Amino acid sequence: MSWGPDEFLALVGGTGIDEAIRAVRQLSDDDRSAAATGLRRALPRLVEDIEPAVLMVVAAGIGASPAEVVPIIRTGLLGYLMDDPEHLDLVRDSFAALGPDWALELQRRLPGRDVDWFHVWLLDELILAHDLPLPTHPGFWREWHFGDVTPRPGRRWQEHFIAACAVPNGLGWRDTDASGFLARLREHMAVLRAAEPVDDEALLRALIEVIARGDARGPQRTALIWAEGLGLDQLFWERPDLWLPALPGADAAVVARVVERLPQLDLDDDQLTMLATEVLTRPQRTPKRAVVKALERVAAPSEQLLEVVAAAAHDVDATVASRAATLLERWGHAATTVRLGLWREPTGAVVATPVVPLTEPELWAELGDLLAESGEDDPLRHEQLLAGLVAVGWDQGREAVWTRLGELLETASEKVQEQELRWLILNDRHGTSNFDDDPDGEGCRQECCHPSILADQIISVRHEVHTGEFRMWVQRAPLSEFVGWRAREALEAIGRVPCLLSTPTHTGNRVCWQEFRQRVGRFVECGQPLLPTDLLVGLARIEGIGDWADLAEVPVGEQGVGVGEVLELWLQFHPPAELRFRDAVGTVTQAPRRGVEIEGDELRAADLVGNGSSWSRTFWPRPRVHGEHAAAMGFLPAHPSRPAVEVLTRLPEVGAATTTSHLELLLGSAFQCGPVTALAAVAAVDHVTPAHRDRIAGALLAAWDEGRLSPEDLAEPWRCGWADELRLGSHQRQVALLVALAEATGLALVWPSLVALAERVAAPERPPSSAGLILETLLRFLPEVAGHVTVDLPSVAALAGRKGSSKAIRTARLVANAVQMREETEES
């Protein structure tokens, strides 16, 4: 006979630990046996209905198996018991009495991940009680290190600590109060040394292994703290034979600690060579400067050291480079010019993949997902779905399409209702439902709250089809509003028009002229006028309009306008984008911020066909007002400037991921990126991570390779003063972007930018603190441009002629000397 959940609940349900202990002790042998037999089957309910601490003392009292104890541990709710030493000792002693095999089974049941501290504590106590081998389970040691691991006699502490160090990342960063942790370590270590022998070298080797293995920064910093707290720091510095071979895996903080001690270390030439080989290949400047200075002790350098220092003579840091060059001269080995081959011409290859239309099953499946999701449009999917609906409508009729869309909306209705509040929150960023005839937006919110522009328009137009009543849709930010209007125009024309003129034929929202002509021909065949918005979008997606004489009389919309009139206006010269800077209005909690207004680069002929918008008028996106959708970014490849200004305006408000993806869409689609788009990319690096910066660099490089971004456009933000007008923050981040491009063999793209930036920072009476970095970068790439361009740096030359010893002046002199030597070499 065995107990079920009800018997356990009758015994200890609602009781405290003391009452539970008394109740278990009063059980008869038969009841105890029945409880032990039934515990496993009763556990699923008991862990829900009985406090875990109470359940654990019951399990200990009836001699439960490890298979029954582990689920109680896995609740993760035994903290109260851990703070109760008396009852904790009772649990430990009860399980210890079950013998070493019980402990070994508990060890075998360590989970693969997320090991609970109570499991580690109990197992460790049983290992000590039965003198068992220590486990090798990584999770055990990672969790062990977060407990009370200060040295204590009689607990095999040294063996434990060495085993924890052997686990990758086993010494997780454990104490924000390092000084307090150090004090406790020193105190307990003194007690341990007085009570039992300690093998300092074994402990030191274990800690150095944490560094050599390349563990994360936290564990490596913790290893240094342990070395100091255990009294091993002096031994550490006396054993370069142990720590020098570990440096390839060392974190920057460990290398910095080594460099701090360099003046006190008595390293021989071979050891200095090992140190230099590792440190001089790292990016951190301070350690490199210290190591090059320390190398002055070396009288007879090895070939390996000469090679390392020769590479350092071309370091991006001017101080490192000059010291390394001086060293080489002392050793009788002059520095040589190293060419890395970073200068090349753009490939000129445009990568445009044909867009494959969706099949009808794919169309309905994708639409079902779209209507039930709570995310923005994927721009390409938006285009494919819209084109698919128009195509099916032409084949099967308007009624068939809207009937099927109604079914999809019904299917998605439950999920739609669940997400309605979330959509309202999302729309607070992307639009507003506050209309003149519905100030609270309630009419709109009933159905039209979807963050997807296309889904929102489908819901709105479907309401009109179903009820015959006009329904307002969620108002978007200005550029996205035009995207929505184009979608609405197409949806309302389902069953009436054979296709859309503007559906991309290739990625990047490109439309082939020949395909465009064929589509116009289909409208002519069925006697339908062209859709005005569709026509404008289609023209803005064609790069290179061909012969259109035979299309001149094709009507456009209801305006009585022909395609010929539209194209004549379209092909006229229109002014490029012009920026004006103004302070945006602040709020109670936020100061005014620099805003940007743009004129030019307008969507031509929009007013002619009665479809003016922010794409065809002066555009001033307001900071902290609803932002644009991703669909607007590459929407009109011929007109990238307005989306670029939008990106520029939102930089402080949106995350790095959104900024980067918007820029990738914009840079990947624009026919000619232009200086405004380049400005947005340069400004963005102040607001994104290095990984996102590299993605932006990749998009810029691809645009240059395809002939869509010129070096002059990239340099324009510095040449014309836009960067100063916008008060861009970090020159260091801007230089990092240019360096990333140059190192990716795009030096020809960034050289004018480097020159413009260097000239700009060299000109003031007091150069900015970043001038040294910028001039160092220019100096670094000077050898690469030999034979490709004429280097003219009047402001840098003037700075080099000033009196002073600031980093900017010293580096300017190095640049001026390098330019002079280059000119002399070319003349000879």
- Using CB atoms within 10 A of its CB, is residue 98 exposed (0-12), middle (13-18) or buried (19+)? middle
Dihedral pair phi/psi, residue 693, rounded to 5°: -60, -40
Q: Say how far apart CA 685 and CA 392 lie, in whole Å.
A: 44
Whether 408 and 371 have beta carbons less than 8 Å apart is answered as yes
In 10 A of CB 657, how many CB atoms?
A: 13
Q: What is the pLDDT of residue 65?
A: 94
Radius of gyration of the chain measured on its C-alpha atoms: 36
Query: Is 175 or 15 the better-scoring residue by pLDDT?
Result: 15
Tell me if residue 607 falls in helix, strand or coil: coil
Residue 377 above 80 pLDDT? no
Residue 136 scores a pLDDT above 70: yes
DSSP codes of every residue in 228-242: HHTT-HHHHHH-HHH
Dump pLDDT digits (tens) for 308-358.
Answer: 999 898 787 878 888 998 899 899 887 666 667 899 999 987 777 899 999
What SS3 string covers 15-64? CCHHHHHHHHHCCCHHHHHHHHHHHHHHHHHHHHHCCHHHHHHHHHHHCC
Q: What is the residue-averaged pLDDT of the chain?
A: 87
Task: Give pLDDT, residue 726.
Answer: 82
For residue 264, the 8-state DSSP code is G
Range with the lowest mean pLDDT among 149-153, 204-208, 330-334, 378-382? 330-334
Output phi, psi for 602, to 5 deg.
Answer: -95, 155
pTM of structure: 0.67
Q: Does residue 158 carry a pLDDT above 70? A: yes
What's residue 174's pLDDT?
56
Q: Determine how β-strand 475-476 pairs with β-strand 431-432.
A: antiparallel
Q: What is the pLDDT confidence band of residue 818, given thresholds at 50, 70 and 90?
A: confident
Rounded to 5 degrees, what are φ and ψ at 265? -90, 135
pLDDT given for residue 338 in this prediction: 60
The answer to whether 460 touches 473, Cβ cutoff 8 Å, is yes
Among the residues of 397-452, which ranges form H helices?
398-430, 442-445
Is 80 exceeded by the pLDDT of residue 417?
no
Q: Once rounded to an integer, what is the mean pLDDT over residues 728-739?
A: 85
Residue 442: the pLDDT is: 34
**How do residues 226-277 score in pLDDT, each as one tens digit?**
999 999 999 999 999 999 999 999 999 999 999 999 989 999 999 999 999 9
**Percent of the chain scoring above 90 in pLDDT:** 58
Q: What is the reported pLDDT for 443?
A: 35
Q: What is the pLDDT of residues 302-316, one digit of tens each?
A: 999 999 999 898 787
Element (H, E) at 10: helix 5-12
The confidence score (pLDDT) of residue 486 equals: 95
- DSSP annotation string for 659-679: HHHHHHHHHHH-SS-HHHHHH
Distance of alpha carbon 117 from alpha carbon 123, whole angstroms: 10
Mean pLDDT lowest among 1-15, 528-542, 585-599: 585-599
Q: Which residue has the tokens 């306008």?
A: 561
Task: Give the residue with greater pLDDT, 446 vs 820.
Answer: 820
Predicted local distance difference test score (pLDDT) of residue 77 = 74
Angle at 227 between CA 222 and CA 231, to 5 degrees: 145
Per-residue pLDDT at 626: 67
At 449, the pLDDT band (50, 70, 90 cuts) reads: very low
Q: Taking residues 50-73, report their average pLDDT.
A: 92
Q: Identify the three-state secondary structure at position 431.
A: strand
Please report the pLDDT score of residue 744 as a whole number: 92
Residue 325, SS3?
helix
Tell me how far CA of residue 407 lies from CA of 254, 389, 401, 459, 488, in angstroms.
64, 15, 10, 12, 20
H, E, C per residue of 448-463: CCCCCHHHHHHHHHHH
- Residue bearing tokens 């999809």: 408
As a whole number, mean pLDDT of residues 72-94 equals: 85
Q: 757, 771 in Cβ contact below 8 A?
A: no
Q: How sure is the predictor about 375, in pLDDT bands with cuts at 50, 70 and 90? A: low
pLDDT at position 591: 43
Kind and range of the H or E element at 698? helix 690-705
Identify which of 163, 104, 175 has the alpha carbon closest to the alpha carbon of residue 139. Answer: 163
User: Residue 812 and residue 634: Cα distance in Å, rounded?
Assistant: 42
Residue 145 is predicted with a pLDDT of: 84
Rounded to the nearest 10 degrees, what angle do helices 85-96 and 52-62 cross at? 30
pLDDT at 445 over 50: no
For residue 451, pLDDT beyond 60: yes
Mutual angle of helices 5-12 and 17-25, in 10-degree steps: 110
Q: Over 60: is that where the pLDDT of 521 sits?
A: yes
> For residue 56, which amino acid is it?
M
Helix (H) or strand (E) holding 432: strand 431-432
End-to-end Cα spacing for the chain: 106
List pLDDT tens digits, range 629-667. Answer: 899 999 999 999 999 999 998 887 888 889 999 999 999
pLDDT band at 828 (very low <50, low <70, confident <90, very high): low
pLDDT at position 422 is: 36
**Spatial separation of the C-alpha atoms in residues 36 and 29, rounded to whole Å:** 10
Question: In the chain, what percentage of residues exceed pLDDT 70?
Answer: 90
Helices marked H in 74-199: 79-82, 85-96, 100-108, 117-130, 138-144, 157-165, 178-195
Secondary structure of residue 465 in the 3-state scheme: helix
d(CA 21, CA 12): 9
Exposure string over 588-612, b if 16+ CB within 10 A, otherwise e: eeeeebebbebbebbbbbbebbebe
Amino acid 250: pLDDT:
93
Of 193 and 596, the one with more pLDDT: 193
